């Protein structure tokens, strides 16, 4: 929509307020609301003033004034607020220079799209991300100087099979929750409601289903879109899922690994490049790929360890990315092997469906930065003709120790991932998509507030291991 059309839409919908949203550096969506009278066509150029000093990873107190410029193409009516409200995503602008703010994740994604066009390799990058999540009924956690704990409960959790009262017995077994029909799948109706609300907000949904883990692990798949639009959609996706669950008295988490001993939640990300409306990843090479697609894979694999700090950006991510479990830690590619970091889906022979699926990302990542970083790695592979090596079509568990040693793997911790990003980030700086200052800020934030914060605190299981030592 144009600004004029947005104003007409707001009037038609009876909107009385406007909500402008943006995303902080770690990936949490923020918002600020105004009476609808504050929204005019001029506001789409002049923006709305905000204080950025308290936003995580953003400006210092002495340069905190910023502007939010609403993007009319992102407008929809909020399905949850009692007061009818128009919602738009904003881009952050410096009020003095009128330049984009370099720590705004959405601007990073926009710059990645601009850089792609500047290479003349392609004009469009499509991304389709499959973000998994858990639906719980109760969560408690606390951490202080002398205690620390968490407690999760879910009506669907297999651990409730022995409960004496109100127990009807239908619950997915550990690691056997994939595709059961109700009543074992407790959340068909809840997911269907989530889908209806997301469609109402403008998202295109392809399917939904129960995932592998017990305790309410689910997946709702969106249709692919361009890079920035897919990242915008992921923020709407998370917002809708959380709020529909809240209306049902449930709580949703996108933590990669909330349950011990069962599958974690990933965000497998499908990617392809197009030019002049034509797909560029279809060809006559392995798995029906073009040479460009193979080089793109080469870039993803070469930079995967550095990418991990952005696409798997939490200490909890490395509870999921563990060799021998469900996660794709092996830096190889395959047309069907899901233990490989890159998989080439073979569901369709259509050139338009040809894509690569990068499997290490998880939904704790900031989608604007994650999609941009993956594109930059892939483009580096194409520009430098990086050979991805031989595919990994064997069962990973049948490989000899010598063969396994030849397959590199993802980092084992956030600290290791951050070090890898420090050592390998030149590919992200091309086209000023990421800046040295942004990456330094990001790495310092993650080290201090997450990696070090977890490392310094006693873990509950350490008491079981060492209290009597």
**Contacts (Cβ under 8 Å, ≥6 apart) of 224:** 126, 127, 128, 230, 270, 272, 355
| Helix or strand (DSSP H, E) at 20 | strand 17-23
3-state secondary structure of 309: helix
- Shortest CA distance to 134 belongs to which of 267, 269, 264, 322? 264
Cβ atoms within 10 A of the Cβ of 147, count? 9
CA 215/CA 174 separation, integer angstroms: 9
- Shortest CA distance to 433 belongs to which of 83, 40, 102, 211? 102
Active site positions, annotated: 51, 130, 132, 211, 219, 268, 338, 357, 359
Residue 383, phi then psi, degrees to nearest 5: -65, -35
Long-range contacts of 403-411 (CB under 8 A, 24+ apart): 407/330, 407/331, 407/332, 408/305, 408/330, 408/331, 409/323, 409/329, 409/330, 409/331, 410/304, 410/305, 410/308, 410/312, 410/321, 410/329, 410/331, 410/341, 410/360, 411/305, 411/308, 411/318, 411/321
Q: For the chain, first and last CA: distance in Å?
A: 66
Cβ atoms within 10 A of the Cβ of 297, count? 30
- Shortest CA distance to 137 belongs to which of 114, 163, 111, 119? 163
Check whether the bond before 402 is cis (ω within 30° of 0): no
Cβ atoms within 10 A of the Cβ of 57, count? 18
Bridge partner residues of 22 (DSSP) = 30
Contact in structure between 311 and 317 (CB atoms under 8 Å): no
Bridge partner residues of 139 (DSSP) = 152
């Amino acid at each position: 929509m144009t600004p004029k059309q947005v104003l007409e839409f707001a009037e038609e919908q009876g909107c009385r307020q406007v909500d402008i949203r943006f995303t902080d550096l770690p990936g949490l969506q923020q918002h600020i609301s105004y009476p609808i009278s504050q929204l005019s066509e001029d506001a789409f150029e002049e923006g709305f003033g905000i204080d950025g000093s308290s936003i995580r990873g953003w400006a210092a107190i002495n340069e905190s004034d910023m502007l939010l410029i609403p993007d009319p193409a992102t407008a929809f009516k909020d399905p949850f607020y009692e007061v009818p409200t128009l919602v738009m995503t904003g881009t952050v602008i410096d009020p003095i220079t009128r330049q984009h703010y370099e720590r705004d994740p959405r601007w990073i994604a926009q710059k990645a799209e601009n850089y792609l066009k500047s290479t003349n390799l392609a004009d469009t990058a499509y991304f389709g991300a499959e973000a998994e999540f858990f639906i719980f009924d109760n969560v408690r956690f606390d951490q202080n100087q002398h205690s620390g704990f968490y407690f999760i409960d879910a009506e669907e959790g297999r651990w409730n099979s022995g409960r004496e009262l109100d127990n009807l017995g239908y619950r997915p077994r550990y690691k056997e929750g994939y595709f059961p029909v109700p009543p074992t799948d407790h959340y068909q109706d809840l997911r269907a409601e989530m889908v209806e609300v997301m469609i109402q907000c403008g998202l295109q949904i392809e399917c939904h289903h129960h995932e592998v883990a017990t305790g309410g692990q689910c997946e709702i798949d969106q249709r692919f879109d361009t890079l920035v639009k897919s990242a915008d959609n992921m923020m709407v996706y998370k917002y809708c899922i959380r709020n529909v669950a809240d209306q049902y008295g449930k709580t949703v988490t996108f933590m990669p690994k909330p349950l011990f001993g069962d599958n974690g939640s990933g965000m497998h990300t499908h990617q392809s490049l197009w030019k002049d409306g034509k797909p560029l990843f279809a060809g006559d090479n392995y798995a029906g790929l073009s040479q460009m697609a193979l080089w793109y894979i080469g870039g993803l694999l070469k930079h995967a360890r550095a990418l991990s700090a952005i696409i798997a950006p939490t200490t909890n991510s490395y509870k999921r990315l563990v060799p021998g479990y469900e996660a794709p830690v092996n830096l190889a590619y395959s047309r069907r092997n899901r233990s490989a970091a890159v998989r080439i889906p073979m569901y369709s022979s259509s050139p338009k469906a040809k894509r690569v699926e990068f499997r290490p990302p998880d939904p704790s990542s900031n989608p604007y930065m994650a999609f941009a970083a993956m594109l930059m790695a892939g483009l580096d592979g194409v520009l430098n003709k990086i050979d991805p090596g031989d595919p990994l079509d064997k069962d990973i568990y049948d490989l000899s120790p010598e063969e396994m040693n030849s397959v590199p793997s993802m980092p084992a911790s956030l600290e290791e991932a951050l070090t890898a990003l420090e050592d390998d980030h030149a590919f992200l700086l091309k086209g000023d998509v990421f800046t040295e200052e942004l990456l330094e800020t990001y790495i310092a934030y993650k080290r201090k507030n997450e990696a070090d914060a977890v490392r310094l605190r006693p873990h509950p299981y350490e008491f079981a291991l060492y209290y009597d030592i």
